[in-house]
Structure formats: structure tokens, C-alpha cells
Chain A
Amino acid sequence: MLLIACPWCGERDELEFHYGGQAHVAYPADPEGLSDAEWGEYLFVRDNPKGPFAERWSHAAGCRRWFNVVRHTVTHQILASQSNHPVAAGQPKPVIA
């Protein structure tokens, strides 16, 4: 069982999370311009490393937010857990007018 650190809620049991696969896979800027091979690569091919892997998790049974984790795929050690959201980075909560 993995103990995953949600950037907002802290460490929680794996059961509260949903897995999202490789992180940082951007939607193609110009999908119409891709060849079949490039589109197939975007749709179906992901990194599958034996070692550190940057991946997406969602705190499905908690705050329901997505964030990134770097996990070692052999030891399952979680090396980093982060969000791009400024609150999670320790910055003051943005003021909503």
C-alpha cells in the first residue's frame, strides 16, 4: 500500500487516490497537423521507466485535485509530490474578489 502525500491534504492511504499515468504529456498544439504516426504516439505511447517516474494522481476520495508525484517504480519510494498551484507551493492563498 502506497502512502501518497497530497499537496493539500498531506499523506493519505493509496485507496483515496486515482492513478493518472505519466505526467507532463501536453495535448498537441496543432493536432490537425500531426501525421498518423505522431498522433498514434501521442494517444498510445507513454514512458515506462524502471526507476523514477513522474506521474499524475488525483485525490479522488479527498480534495479531488490532480497533482504530480515522482515515484520509483521498483522501490515505490515517493521522491517528490507537487502541484503547480501556488497554494500548494506555500504561497498566500489568492484573493478572490
Chain B
Amino acid sequence: MSHQLPEHPDWLWRTPDPKRSYDVIIVGAGGHGLATAYYLARNHGITNVAVLERGWLAGGNMARNTTIIRSNYLCEESAALYEHALKLWEVLPQELEYDFLFSQRGVLNLAHTLQDVREGTRRVNANRLGGVDAEWLDADQVRAFCPIVNTSPDVRYPVLGATLQPRAGIAKHDHVAWALARKADQYGVDLIQGCEVTGFLREGDRVVGVRTSRGPISAGRVALAAAGHSSVLADLAGLRLPVQSHPLQALVSELLEPVHPTVVMSNHVHVYVSQAHKGELVMGAGVDSYNGYGQRGSFHQIEHQMAAALELFPIFARAHVLRTWGGIVDVTPDASPIIGPTPIENLYLNCGWGTGGFKATPASGWVYAHTIATGEPHPLNAPFALERFTTGALIDEHGAAAVAH
């Protein structure tokens, strides 16, 4: 070789072998698992913690989402949780000493019908009452804020207006995971990749550890954060969850000049589009209808996404799809997450984020760490308990979440 390869940069975290025992084992080293480990250490001083990951760190939905961060949910419980996340996003780059390109460029949720307009203005009012920044824009204001949206009145679904959350935005998802992993590791948390949980160690009704592909590990408490595979893990503990796993697909274009200044979502035409810092257009839409664990879905979903994007952005007509991919999202009957204890002592559950988990990453970790450390839910996640599917106190975000699921 004519020249030497450069030295590998310093690793951001250690690669320890699993110890025989931990105070807390978190199953799943995605965003939520890593944030939970970070806040267990930071907020509760619990550092004898392992995060076990079947594959590689942040290789599941954390690597597959469309990076949108917002808190403009309709239901009070959801808005409070996501707003807590947004406030944490605003301080995390400094706190983690890692610039993960959090860009508060705003999100527009377009209205194309009278019903959309009524829903949007209602949500703006609800958000303002709940302390979430929200504005209503008419079509002219939408054009001024995002000139590339087609606001012509003679299209099939004319833009009648939009909600705007100015503090919403995007972040670089991989870097978020790496920033959390590095800090958790510095606190002494063991991040163990290539370690699949294959069962639970039980003493009577209590969970006292996990069986893994690298041997049994005992633990004071075991906390699941496995997204699409939550049902598979819960099944190992004899627990059935009100969760169905579906493929969710997204796509990116080739790199383009900066042209898209914000995030645009349309529930009616059904696509969401932003432009990453590097220049690719990032798009997503709804889940495939059937259950699936294969991290791929059907191509007609991609076709629908692109058709919807062209409806809104005729300027993208000559853009090319560079890459499409799928993740597995765990969807609950009310499209809200489940965070809290389980009927099995020492086993905790954080799942059901469906299509919207990335934006919640820091708040999810914050309240889950609280729940694990104290044994009681944080006030923000108390309404999201598993029991709501018995009591009927659902948090119905189907349609109310500003995007279809």
C-alpha cells in the first residue's frame, strides 16, 4: 500500500464482558435503553447497570427513524410527556457535551380539509393551554414559512392552513445514541453488545436475572426497552402484551442543495418530509397493515409516500430515491406507549411507542429511570401504565397525534 490508513479514533465507550450480577439490567441498547441508563446514573446515582443488546448499539429503530422531534400532541398526558422530552432535547447537547445537530427548524402539520382545519386549530389551542408552543398559519403564511410547499388552490388537496410548532425540529439520531452511550459508559454503565436475552431467571413470582447468549446474569431489576421485540421478550416471562409489531418504512433521496427549511407533515395526503443536514430528503408515512418482524415492508407503501410527497412538493419531481428501509414498530391499541411496572415483580416495561418513539427518547429514559429506581411511576408516565387496558382509561392518540398510525 502506498499510504497507511489513519489510526482508528478513540472508542466512545468500553466493550466490557458481562459481570455476574447488576443492580439493574436494561434489555435493548436503543435510544430509550441508553437514555434510561444515563438517567439512572445521573438522576438516581444507580451505576451498577448493564444494557444488553442482541445486535449492535442503536441498530434498531434508533437507526431507522426519520428524526423528527415535536411535542404538539392533543391529549394532555401525551403533550406533557413529549414536552418534557423537548425541554430535555434543548439542554442535552450541552449536558452530554456532544453536538448531535439538534435543529429547531419547526414543524408544520398541514390542513387540507375543513375537518383538518378544525382539528388543527383545536390542537393549537390545547397545546397553548398546556404550555406547548403552537401557532395557526393560513395558506399565505404557510407559503411564506416554507416556500416549496405547493399552496396553489387548484390541486387535489389544497393547503388550507397548518399548525406550526416553532421549537420542533430534527436531530442526528446516530449521534444522539452515541452521545448517550458515551456518558452512560463514563458513569460506569456496562454496554454489552451481541448479548441476546433468551429467558428470565425466576424465584417464585420474582424475576432475579436474565438468561443470555453469554450466560446467566442476575439482576435486582430487569427493564425491557426492546421496541418491536417487546412481545417476544415478554412472552419469555409468560406475559402477553397489548402490542402488535408492524413494519414501518422510510426513504431518503440523494443529497440535494438545502431547499427545505422546516419539517412538513400531512396527515391527509399522508407523508412527512424533512431535509437532513447532509442534504438528503427524509420521508416517512404509515405502517404496513400486517404484523412483521422482518424489518422490511411492501413496496406500495413507498410508492404512496412518494406520490404524497410529490403532491405537496412538485419541486421534488426529479429527485431520486437513494435508499428505503424498514423498522419494526410496536403499536398499542390506543397508539400510546406503555411505561411502568408489570405484574411480575422486578420486571419493568417500556414499549408501545409505535411510530413516534425517537422524539420521546430523553423523557422516556427520564421517567423509566425514575420508575425503575423508585418502583413507582413518575407522574408523567403514571397514566401510561399497562393497567389502562383493564381500567379503560386509554390515551387515544389515533388521529389525535397529528399523524396517522
**B294: A residues at CB distance < 8 A:** 73-76
Segment of B49-57, B87-95, B107-115, B242-250 engaged in the interface with chain A: B242-250
Q: Is the interface on chain A under 10, 10 to 19, 20 to 34, or 35 or more residues?
A: 20 to 34
Interface stretch of the complex, out of B148-156, B192-200, B285-293: B285-293
CA–CA, A75 and B294, complex, Å: 6
Q: Establish whether residues B298 and A46, one from each chain, have CB atoms under 8 Å apart when the complex forms.
A: no
Residues of the A chain whose Cβ atoms lie less than 8 Å from the Cβ of B289: 18-19
- Whether B389 pairs with A71 at a CB distance below 8 angstroms is no
Question: How many residues of chain B are within 8 Å of chain A by beta carbon?
Answer: 24
A80 contacts chain B at the CB level, 8 A cutoff: no
Q: How far is the CB of A86 from chain B (nearest CB, A)?
A: 27
- Chain A proximity mask over B272-299: 1 for CB below 8 Å, otherwise 0: 0000000000000000011111100011
Contact mask for chain B residues 221-236; partner A; CB cutoff 8 A; 1 contact, 0 none: 0000000010110010
**B2 interfacial contact with A, CB 8 Å:** no
Contact A74 B298 (CB under 8 A): no
A40-B389, A45-B241 as given contacts; A50 in contact with B290, CB under 8 Å = no
Asked if residues B390 and A73 are in contact (CB atoms below 8 Å), the reply is no
C-alpha gap A50/B293 in the complex (Å):
6
Decide: A55 near B291, CB < 8 A? Known: A36-B390, A46-B244, A48-B231.
yes
Task: List B residues at the A interface (Cβ < 8 Å).
Answer: 229, 231-232, 235, 240-245, 289-294, 298-300, 333, 389-392
- 16 A-B pairs (CB sep. < 8 Å): A1-B300, A15-B300, A19-B290, A21-B291, A40-B242, A41-B240, A45-B389, A46-B244, A48-B231, A50-B231, A50-B245, A55-B291, A71-B290, A73-B245, A73-B291, A74-B294
> When A and B form their complex, which 6 residue pairs have the shortest distance between CB atoms, in order from nearest?
A48-B231, A19-B289, A44-B242, A40-B390, A50-B293, A44-B389
Taking A21-B291, A48-B231 as known contacts, 10 extra A-B pairs with beta carbons closer than 8 A to each other, sorted by chain A number, are A14-B298, A36-B390, A41-B240, A43-B333, A45-B389, A48-B291, A50-B232, A55-B290, A73-B291, A76-B294
What residues make up the interface of A, taking CB atoms closer than 8 Å to B?
1-2, 14-15, 18-19, 21, 36-37, 40-41, 43-50, 53, 55, 71, 73-76
